[in-house]
Amino acid sequence: MSNIAKAFADGKAFIPFITCGDPDLETTAKVVREAVKNGADLVELGIPFSDPTAEGPVIQGANIRALAGGVTTDKVFELVEELRRDVEIPLVFMTYANVVFSYGAEHFMQRCAETGVDGIILPDMPFEEKDEFSEIAEKYGIDMISLIAPTSENRIAMIAKEAKGFIYIVSSLGVTGTRSEITTNIGDIVSVIRENTDVPCAVGFGISNPEQAKKMADFSDGAIVGSAIIRIIEKYGRDSAEYVSEYIKSMKDALK
């Protein structure tokens, strides 16, 4: 069993996304630990990048703040190493192909394995080009997480058959950010996934409140939330951990 699969072993998974280094790495560590205490089943850690094309203004802002504060990929690896002293749930990186490429794919995946990262999501890496990184990732036991979007249509089965770890279902067209309503027929997408793999799937992009999280998790195996959490961190800065913990508890409670 992939370590990531453990996140889905006890019911619906709640997966928060946190940009590393916003407002600083010490705060990120506190937020991650509070998330774990309050029911997070897996944490997506964003490695800041100067041109995060899949992100809306909220997470773009977090990337800018983190980079301005001097966060580097090496410092993020050090953060994970420190977190792994007591954080046992799966940890997954979400970043961009250029970050991995410029670091050196072999070195990057090796560092993931050494520090305790279980998987990686690259939203700008087309499925057809993933072999550039996926073979190296597999060598080091790192799951490359596939994304399936509303526009994937006849590619859903193909992507699902090769999926590792979990499948990230993109709920809406466009970039990340909170949405008042999610209109994509997630049930239809999940049906095709289920026909082709038993790898779990979770829905992200646009989820911001417990009602939306429950609705998306009713169709799938879990819910992913990023922008709503980053907004709390942006508002409260170094004091944000306690506010994030309250939010995560409310979201996890909705999925039980």
68: domain CATH number is 3.20.20.70
177 within a domain of the structure (yes/no): no
Q: What is the pLDDT of residue 180?
A: 45
256 burial (CB, 10 Å; 0-12 / 13-18 / 19+) is exposed
Q: Which of 67-71, 141-145, 179-183 is least confident?
A: 179-183
Percent of the chain whose predicted confidence (pLDDT) is above 70: 94
State in Å, rounded, how far the first CA of the chain is from the last one.
23
Q: Which of 65-79, 171-185, 200-214 is least confident?
A: 171-185
Q: How far is CA 109 from the centre of its chain?
A: 17
pLDDT-derived band at 54 (thresholds 50, 70, 90) equals low
157 within a domain of the structure (yes/no): no
pLDDT surpassing 70 at residue 186: yes
Which string of b and e fits 138-167 if b means at least 16 CB within 10 Å? Answer: eeeebbbbbbbbbebeeebeebbeebbbbb
Averaged pLDDT for residues 126-131: 89
Percent of the chain whose predicted confidence (pLDDT) is above 90: 82
The 3-class secondary structure across the chain, one letter per residue, is: CCHHHHHHCCCCEEEEEEECCCCCHHHHHHHHHHHHHCCCCCEEEECCCCCCCCCCHHHHHHHHHHHHCCCCHHHHHHHHHHHCCCCCCCEEEECCHHHHHHHCHHHHHHHHHHHCCCEEECCCCCHHHCHHHHHHHHHCCCEEEEEECCCCHHHHHHHHHCCCCCEEEECCCCCCCCCCCCCCCHHHHHHHHHHHCCCCEEEECCCCCHHHHHHHHHHCCEEEECHHHHHHHHHHHHHCHHHHHHHHHHHHHHHC
Range of the domain at 232: 12-142+208-249
Supply 199's token pair.
């790898």
228 within a domain of the structure (yes/no): yes
For 102, residues 6+ apart whose C-beta sits below 8 A from its C-beta are: none
Residue given tokens 């998306």 in the structure block = 216
175 within a domain of the structure (yes/no): no
35 within a domain of the structure (yes/no): yes
168 within a domain of the structure (yes/no): no
pLDDT surpassing 50 at residue 85: yes
Q: What is the pLDDT of residue 185?
A: 81
- Contact by Cβ (8 Å): 44, 215: no
Q: Which of 12-21, 132-141, 176-185, 211-220 is least confident?
A: 176-185
- Per the structure, the count of domains in the chain is 1
